[in-house]
Amino acid sequence: MYKVIPMTRLGLATYQGKLSNVYKQINRMLYKGEEVYRVQKKAKCATEQFPEGHFIYPGSFIVKGEAVLEGVKSDTLKDGMVHEAERLLLKSKIAFLDGMNCAPFCSEPFIQFFNAYGLKVDIISDQDVRSGILKDYEILIVPGGPDAGESYYEGLGELGFNEIKSFVEDGGLYLGSCAGSYFPLSAMKDTLAHDVWLNMLPVTDLSGLDYWRTGTGFVRVEIEDPGHPVTFGLAMGSPSTVDMIYWEGPAFEILHLENIQVIARYKDFIASGKELPSWSLENNPIAIEAMKWSNPLTKERFKKHLEGSPAIIEGTYGKGHMVLISPHAEFGDCGTEHAMADNTHYQLLMNSLYYLSGIKGE
């Protein structure tokens, strides 16, 4: 007997009110090696509450009937395992780079996410990377920073760069946010960007290191592939949009599509310190700070530099795989009523870790 845990999106919320409670318990089960499955495609099945049949949507969890879950809305399946479900995996060896030039205002929200979702993540330094520590890990997370990724060079140097490139090339997994997503991009030779980026993917930002061109604000992102596992619980068909906090992240320019997939694109400008939102931001202090930033995004800048550009992409390098997020999922929602621990954008990060964990190496 199995239980289904619906993770359906309902407007800006989800069917499960306390997301952190659900994911913390699911992750605890995964770390123990217990069986957890995830629905990959919409499926209709009979349950105890709906014996006539009920739609179960992608991203919903399935656990064995004897599993003890507290404060979680679930239903008992009447017809066994849902045929559109797959075994869920979570890598246990995850490293988070908090180097010399990783800004605390970017790394601390990630640590809040790790704690809220019960994730076991080791924080590593530039020197750790230079010493070859990545050979002991399966996933590397690189957060945002104070610029377009160039500051990482100061702490990592050529040796650190080569360690990261070798890690991914040999089958390692990489999750980047904002500056951490600039970092693996490619630039033309004989440019400063080429010297300080990893030049791993056939993707660039045509503005190079001029991150100041855009600014900070709230933006609307349209999910291009609503069936992609990274978007589970956020996308309910096409079109589906998500409002996110943007802080001078890359406008990805795909040089060629081989080994690159666009997951979401920038669609609309929502608000900034130049055009303040009309709703309360009191539940998200980072959203409040975004409205105070000295370089506010404007509608004109959004249209010129971001509109239609990829906002979330995935790609491969050697045997490894990467998910790059230009806006800041770790900064939470744009000031909605949810507490930070239960904001829906943490799902985007958790989905990315689940997705990377499930990728089968060569």
Please provide the DSSP assignment of 67-103 as one string: ---SS---EEBSSSS-TTEEE----S-EEEE--TT--
Last residue of a domain, one of 87, 122, 156: 87
Last residue of a domain, one of 49, 64, 87: 87
Residue 256: CATH number of its domain? 3.40.50.880
For residues 201 and 336, state if they share a domain: yes
Q: What pLDDT digit, counting tens, does each position of 235-292 carry?
A: 888 889 999 999 999 999 999 888 899 999 999 999 999 999 998 888 899 999 999 9
Domain with 168 in it: 94-358
Q: How confident is residue 165, by pLDDT bands cut at 50, 70 and 90? A: very high
For residues 110 and 207, state if they share a domain: yes
Spatial distance between the Cα atoms of 339 and 167, rounded to a whole number of angstroms: 36
For residues 23 and 155, state if they share a domain: no
Residue percentage of the chain with pLDDT more than 90: 73
Report which DSSP code applies to 206.
T
pLDDT for the residue 239: 87
- Greatest CA separation found in the chain? 66
Q: What pLDDT digit, counting tens, does each position of 218-246 carry?
A: 999 999 989 999 999 998 888 899 999 99
pLDDT > 60? residue 362: no
Q: How confident is residue 361, by pLDDT bands cut at 50, 70 and 90? A: low
Residue percentage of the chain with pLDDT more than 70: 98
pLDDT > 90? residue 14: no
For residues 177 and 275, state if they share a domain: yes
pLDDT > 80? residue 147: no
Spatial distance between the Cα atoms of 220 and 244, rounded to a whole number of angstroms: 6
For residues 176 and 200, state if they share a domain: yes
Q: What is the pTM of this model?
A: 0.95
For residues 44 and 180, state if they share a domain: no
Mean pLDDT calculated for residue range 51-71: 91
Cα dihedral 27, 31, 32, 38, rounded to 10, equals 50
Spatial distance between the Cα atoms of 231 and 88, rounded to a whole number of angstroms: 15
DSSP string, 215-256: -EEEEEEEES-TTSGGGTTT--SSS-EEEEEEES----EES-
pLDDT > 80? residue 149: no
